[in-house]
Amino acid sequence: MDATGATGATGTPEARSRAHQLVEAARQLFAAGVMSHSGHANLSARLDSDSFLLSPGFVRDLEPHQLATVGLDGRLLAGELRSVSAEITTMHGVVYRARPQVGAIVHTHSPAATAFAVAHRPLPCRTEPMLRFGQPEEVPVVPWGPRGSDVSVRGIVDVLERRPTTSAVLLANHGLLVFGPDAAAAAHLVVAIEESAEAEIAAAAIGGAVDFPAGALEAVRASIARVAP
């Protein structure tokens, strides 16, 4: 552990800020009730062009000193990771390499979203929070591969290339992977996606969900612009 209190942080104010943003994002996810029974998740935040902070695999009561620094190539640079967490370093690294604008990534086993992943069904965008929080399109499914394997990583890369505007993917038979400009934005989108998945499943019992009308995204953007400071 270094003087910042974060094992993986470099000691800079920016690194300390990123570490505390991840801790707060984890707290928000549990407060929102979107986590699995186990509380399994991985959260990360980009530090620079070559490295990122990564949480352990279970983030209930996450603290800054639990974070490790990992290179975009998957190498552990500082701190500690259990073997079960080391498997997912490439999953985060490949997203940061493919999307230079991404500042944070959240992986969860949120139950309703994971139901779509298990069913290999893309999650449609039919709720306004998904429009507002960065996913105005369906969440695509990445074909299954062992976690952290070349098969899994190639699947993520392929979907990101084919869907350049998506901010989330469903990992088949596994869970949800969300990415955004910062940890708070990624956490907000996890909540929006999980609530949307719950609504889709509930709507199926009463005839099925219905798509937005044409122009819905533009209308939401215009509404946001009217109240923006």
Which residues are part of the catalytic machinery? 87
- Measure the CA–CA gap between 149 and 182, rounded to whole angstroms: 26
- Measure the CA–CA gap between 120 and 134, rounded to whole angstroms: 22
For 98, what's the count of Cα atoms within 13 Å in the CB-facing half-sphere? 24
Residues 197/169, Cβ–Cβ less than 8 Å: no
Strand runs labelled E in the chain: 41-46, 51-54, 68-71, 76-78, 104-108, 141-142, 168-171, 175-180
Task: Give the full edge-to-edge strand order of the sheet including 141-142.
Answer: 76-78, 68-71, 51-54, 41-46, 104-108, 175-180, 168-171, 141-142
* Beta carbons within 10 angstroms of residue 31's beta carbon: 10
Provide, for the chain, the percentages of residues in helix, strand and coil under a 3-state DSSP scheme, each rounded to the nearest 5.
Answer: 40, 15, 40
DSSP 78: E
